[in-house]
Each structure stands twice: as C-alpha cells, then as structure tokens.
Structure 1
Amino acid sequence: MARRKLSHEGTLVLDSEGFSKLLADDKTVVALVAEARSRGMEAVICALTIIEAVYARTDKARLSRLLSGLRVIPVGDEEARAASSLLMAVGLHGHEYAIDAAVAEAALRQQRPVVMLTSDIDDMAKLCGDRVRLVRV
C-alpha cells in the first residue's frame, strides 16, 4: 500500500473511526499518526470521540496510553453552540450528526494546516468545507 503524505506542522484530528483504528493498532492509521508527529503536527481528538469509539472490549490500558499522547479537546457550551451553528449552516440535524459536528467544530479551531483521519468524508466535507484536509481511513 502506498504511504499517504501529510502536511508539515499543523494539527492531525482523529474522528471516531480514526481513533477506533488507532485503538485497534491499524497499521495504516498508526503510520499516519507517527508520520504526522514526525512532521511536527499535534495529534488531537474531540472529547466526544472517546465516547463514540470506546466499547466494553476496549483495552483500557491501551486507551489510557493513547489518550496520554493526544490532546483531548473539551466540548463546552461555546463549542456546542458553534457545532450547532455548523449543522444549521449545512442543513444537517443534530440527532444524527451531533458528534460529527463537534469534531468538525474542534478541527476548524486548530492550528493549520489541519488534516482529519475519517471514514465519513462526505459529511465532514460538508461540515469543514475546504479548511480541513480529509484523509479516508
């Protein structure tokens, strides 16, 4: 498999699928995160991503190790309002897209360039526009 190149510096955002694959030790995602870090990018996740990605069989020790190496972006009132505004702007409903909107809102506030590892290219493209480079995982 060809290796995908990431930008120099900036921020790497993992959505739920990106974080789930990192938890599962997926070789491609592990390599992308390592490459991003070697280029000076900070790896981050939205706090809600933890809720979406973790389940009963998650290796708690691995989860703890991985979280210690990521910046977890909190979601408070201001961030929730901004995510809600994003949803309204693109005509999506919070019932189905709430966590995606929070992740997108967090990504849009990060140091550029911003790259997001996601399986949901279509919805994230609607939410982030061209301000975040999306990489399918």
Structure 2
Amino acid sequence: MARRKLSHEGTLVLDSEGLSQLLADDETVVALVVEARSRGMEVVICSLTIIEAVHARTNKARLSWLLSGLRVIPVGDEEAKAASALLMGAGLHGHKYAIDAAVAEAALRQQRPVVMLTSDVDDMNRLCGQRVRLVAV
C-alpha cells in the first residue's frame, strides 16, 4: 500500500477515528504519525476526542502511553464559543456535531499547514473549509 505524503512542519490533528486507529496500532495511521513527526509536525488531539474514542475495551495503558506523546488541546469557554460559531456558519446542529466542531476549532488554531486524519471528511470540510487538509482514515 502506498503511503500518503504529509507537508513539512505544521500540525497533524487526529479526530476520534484517527486516535482509535492509532490505539488499534493501524499500520497506515501509525505510518502517517511517524512520517509527520519525522517532518517536524506536532501531533495533537482535542481533549474531547479522548471522550469520543474511549470505550470499555480500550487498553488504558496504551491510551496513557499514546496520550503522553500527543499534545492534548483543552476546550474552554472561548474555544466552545468559537466552535459554536463554526457550527452556525456551517448550518450544523451542536447536538450531533459538537465534538466535530471542537476538533475543527482546535485544528484551525494550529500552526499551518494543518493536516487532519478523520473519518468525517464531509463534515470536517464543512467546518474547516480549505484551511485544513483532510486525510480520510
């Protein structure tokens, strides 16, 4: 399988599926994270991604180890307001898209270029526009 190339420097953002596949040691996602780091990219997740990705069968030790190597971006009042504005601008409702909006908002604040590994390419495109390169996982 051919590896997808990432940009030099900047930021790699993992959404819930990206984190889930990293937890599962998915070969493609692990390779993309390794490549991103080798190019000087910081690998980050939104704090809410942890909530969305974790389930009863999650290997807690592996999760802790992986999180120690990622920058976890907190969601406070200002970030929540900005995520809400993204939702309204995209015509989406927070009940279904709240975490996606928080992840998108976090991605938009990162050092460019920004690449996001996501299973929600359509939704993230609506929230991020062309400012974030989306890679389907």
Aligned-pair identity in percent equals: 86
Q: One-letter code of the match for 1:21? A: Q
- CA–CA distance in structure 2, aligned partners of residues 82 and 9 of structure 1: 25
- CA–CA distance in structure 1, aligned partners of residues 3 and 46 of structure 2: 26
TM-score if structure 1 supplies the norm length? 0.99
1:12-51 maps to which residues of 2 (within 5 A)?
12-51=12-51
Q: One-letter code of the match for 2:13? A: V
- Superposition RMSD in Å: 0.3
Q: Matched residue pairs, number?
A: 137
The list of structure 1 runs, each at least 4 consecutive aligned residues, that deviate by more than 2 angstroms after superposition, is none
Q: Secondary structure at the match of 2:135?
A: strand
Q: One-letter code of the match for 1:94? A: G
Q: Secondary structure at the match of 2:40?
A: coil
Structure 2 equivalent of residue 5 of structure 1: 5
- CA–CA distance in structure 1, aligned partners of residues 126 and 57 of structure 2: 32
Structure 2 equivalent of residue 105 of structure 1: 105
- CA–CA distance in structure 2, aligned partners of residues 54 and 89 of structure 1: 29
Deviation at 1:19, TM superposition (A): 0.4
Q: One-letter code of the match for 1:80? A: A
Structure 1 equivalent of residue 119 of structure 2: 119
- CA–CA distance in structure 2, aligned partners of residues 110 and 66 of structure 1: 20
- CA–CA distance in structure 1, aligned partners of residues 20 and 75 of structure 2: 19
Structure 2 equivalent of residue 73 of structure 1: 73
Unaligned runs of at least 5 residues, structure 1: none
- CA–CA distance in structure 1, aligned partners of residues 65 and 90 of structure 2: 36
Q: One-letter code of the match for 1:24? A: A
Structure 1 equivalent of residue 135 of structure 2: 135
TM-score if structure 2 supplies the norm length? 0.99
- CA–CA distance in structure 2, aligned partners of residues 40 and 83 of structure 1: 27
- CA–CA distance in structure 1, aligned partners of residues 70 and 63 of structure 2: 11
Deviation readout 1:34-71 (Å, 9 max, x if unpaired): 00000000000000000000011111110000000000
Structure 2 equivalent of residue 62 of structure 1: 62
- CA–CA distance in structure 1, aligned partners of residues 112 and 132 of structure 2: 8
